[in-house]
Chains A and B, each alone.
Chain A
């Protein structure tokens, strides 16, 4: 996806930061185990967020274990242990979303970039097939998102809300699937919807200048206002506010400090850096 769902490290406790890192490393290891060493390059903050949310909701983290980083054997790291399939699921989502992102990139980018993307696509195509076999519902959700996104971009001047809808729905459906009862599923849907919406709008805000130059699709292009930054900021803040309201209704115990940090500091921080940064704050 996009890498906006991050923590604000400065506001975390040290042990919370270590727990966060150990989930990150755990997910990386799972990617290597389930797919291949190269799949580890697809590791993203967004999917780490997904893994942490899953482990928190299912309360399945059983402890931590010392290990070593595969890429840097000199570096010691901790792995968060998990008793069910949270890691596999997050790993599956990682490769599935990367695969569909590549498909999208081939349509969108210029000749050379498209060529490069075509070279690595077969590898992820293989991974995605494997992931889709285990989690067909994840594959369907992400594919539907991309289909409706393509459909939408053909439309004449879609509204901001319409444009954000496919991505919002994708995260909403992914989160909803974890609900243990009807009301929790509804809360997760709402939370996922607004987070997905926020991610999409963040990406659009981040790419605004670039898209303007290349004449690519961007939902903010049709907005006529004197203060575009202010407008983006209001939209993004509202999405976060609504996601946070829904999040508050969840019964979060494990990793609460980390998830609270993301909702209250990490995401707003990222939002600020994208809106105020000279070239956006993507990396």
Chain B
């Protein structure tokens, strides 16, 4: 196993608090919710597992040394992404294909279903195929159709919400106006404000 400190990106001399913080940040980053429906869900899950293991390992090592259990064990579990558990559906094979990233096979089955039998779930799964491919626009349209056909289905609504979250994604500062507001007022700001004021003053004087 690789060095647990390296996995968390902290130095072996870090305090318990620092380690906890690093762990929290990574757990947030790899959280299953960020990768729901993504073709990389399994990779994120694996990363999460490594982080959990590293955190537990460090705690174990430190407890041995100190004899106290102050840091606690990893709180974030990496729950699976089984989209099963939605009861019986005639599209079970499609769901399994999608889960295994076999998108061509899933689409073949979907395309084989006659048009008059295509219900909300059909649109949802077809959207899922598009999404896995990276064809987000058509995925979005299919999810919307699924929701409009069956507005009460939680699964479809989650998918649409997920799409909306991505489409209005705000990073640390997508709106340029926000970027410069967040930092508060630093010495540099005051200094540059003074310089600006100075410039304005000298402008006036020359007029």
Contacts and interface: CB of A to CB of B under 8 A. Distances in A.
A161 B136 contact: yes
B169 interface: yes
A281 to B, nearest CB: 12
Contacts of B136: 161, 235, 238-239, 242
B137 interface: yes
Interface in A252-268: 264-265, 268
B136 to A, nearest CB: 5
B137 A244 contact: no
A248 B29 contact: yes
A245 interface: yes
A200 to B, nearest CB: 12
Given A265-B173, A268-B173, A234 B43 contact: no
B71 to A, nearest CB: 25
A272 B39 CA distance: 28
A264 to B, nearest CB: 5
A193 interface: yes
A248 B168 CA distance: 19
B35 interface: yes
A140 interface: no
B174 A237 contact: yes
Nearest to A172: B134
A268 B174 contact: yes
**What secondary structure prevails in chain B residues at the interface with A?**
helix
A112 B85 CA distance: 64
A264 B34 contact: no
B65 to A, nearest CB: 28
A245 B134 CA distance: 13
Contacts of B168: 234, 237
B103 interface: no
A81 interface: no
Contacts, number: 84
Contacts of A242: 38, 134, 136, 166
A121 to B, nearest CB: 33
A271 to B, nearest CB: 8
Interface residues of A, number: 32
A237 B166 contact: yes
Contact of B169 (A197, A237, A248): A237
A193 B136 CA distance: 12
Q: Chain B CB within 10 Å — which of A11, A161, A237, A239 has the most?
A: A161
Interface string B149-171: 00000000000000101111101
**What secondary structure prevails in chain A residues at the interface with B?**
helix
A82 interface: no
Nearest to B133: A161
A186 interface: yes
A245 B35 contact: yes
Contacts of B47: 249
A161 B135 contact: yes
Nearest to A273: B176
A246 interface: yes
B130 interface: yes
Q: Chain A CB within 10 Å — which of B39, B40, B176 has the most?
A: B40
Contacts of A269: 176
B169 A190 contact: no
A44 B171 CA distance: 26
A165 B130 CA distance: 12
B179 A193 contact: no
A194 interface: yes
B43 A186 contact: yes
A244 B35 CA distance: 11
Interface in B99-137: 130, 133-137
Interface in A146-189: 159-162, 165, 168, 183, 186-187
